[in-house]
């Protein structure tokens, strides 16, 4: 599945870029189905990019029958990002925190100034492999594949595509200019 989304955010480029890069946990309450974002690792690479790993902890809504087979920990993921400050862009991979291999996601988010606003463009490609979920027999995985695919998509897609809305809501709530 390919996800592409663009938002216009009414705030200066540097403020929006810095908020997402360096203060992402501040906006968690404005993102759907997310309980917490933890910064796991930060480091400056020799090529000048910042390497940042965040753990996203989801709050999934698992339907009754599926609860027997699906652990909520499946909805926690690592966001492994390389930030390029010169281009105002981040390249990232998203991988499950506990169940390696059930999906792969890679993308690029770009932040572009447009007068006193920011055009935030998110592009991500996601491949889901529910048959790799530990503890689920293959014949059941085949039967619940569409359900599982929908659930993973419901967790990832809204949080990728609603980042712009979350930023707008955070900035609106902040309601006062500040430096981060």
2-174 belongs to which homologous superfamily? START domain (3.30.530.20)
* Nearest CA-CA partner of 98 in 80, 124, 72: 72
Phi, psi of 67, deg, nearest 5: -60, -25
Domain residue ranges in the chain? 2-174
Q: Which pLDDT value is given to residue 113?
A: 96
> CA–CA separation, 84 vs 110, rounded Å?
10
Tell me the per-residue pLDDT of 26-55, one tens digit each, with 9 for 90 and over.
999 998 778 899 999 999 999 999 999 999
- State which residues of the chain have pLDDT below 70: 60-74, 99, 134-135, 148-149, 151-160, 175-180
pTM surpassing 0.85?
no
Question: What's the CA gap between 172 and 6, in Å, rounded?
Answer: 19
SS3 of the chain: the string is CEEEEEEEECCCHHHHHHHHHHCHHHHHHHCCCEEEEEEEEEEECCCCCEEEEEEEEECCCCCCHHHHCCCHHHHEEEEEEEEECCCCEEEEEEEECCCCCCEEEEEEEEEEEECCEEEEEEEEEEEECHHHCCCCCHHHHHHHHHHHHHHHHHHHHHHHHCHHHHHHHHHHHHCCCCCC
Give the pLDDT confidence score for residue 179 in this predicted structure: 46
Q: Give every CB contact of residue 55 below 8 A, 6+ residues apart in sequence.
A: 37, 38, 40, 76, 77, 78, 79, 97
């Amino acid at each position: 599945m390919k996800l592409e989304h663009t938002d216009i955010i009414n705030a200066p480029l540097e403020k929006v870029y810095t908020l997402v890069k360096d203060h992402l946990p501040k906006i968690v309450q404005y993102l759907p189905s997310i309980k917490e974002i933890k910064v796991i690792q930060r480091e400056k690479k020799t090529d000048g990019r910042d390497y940042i790993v965040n753990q996203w902890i989801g709050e999934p809504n698992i339907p009754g029958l599926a609860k027997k087979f699906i652990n909520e920990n499946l909805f926690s993921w690592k966001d492994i990002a390389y930030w390029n400050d010169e281009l105002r862009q981040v390249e990232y991979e998203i991988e499950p925190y506990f169940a390696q291999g059930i999906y792969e996601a890679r993308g690029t988010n770009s932040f572009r100034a447009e007068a006193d606003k920011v055009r935030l463009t998110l592009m991500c490609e996601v491949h889901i492999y529910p048959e790799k979920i530990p503890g689920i027999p293959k014949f059941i995985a085949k039967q619940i594949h569409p359900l599982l695919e929908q659930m993973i998509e419901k967790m990832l897609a809204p949080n990728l595509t609603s980042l712009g809305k979350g930023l707008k809501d955070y900035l609106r709530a902040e309601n006062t200019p500040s430096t981060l």
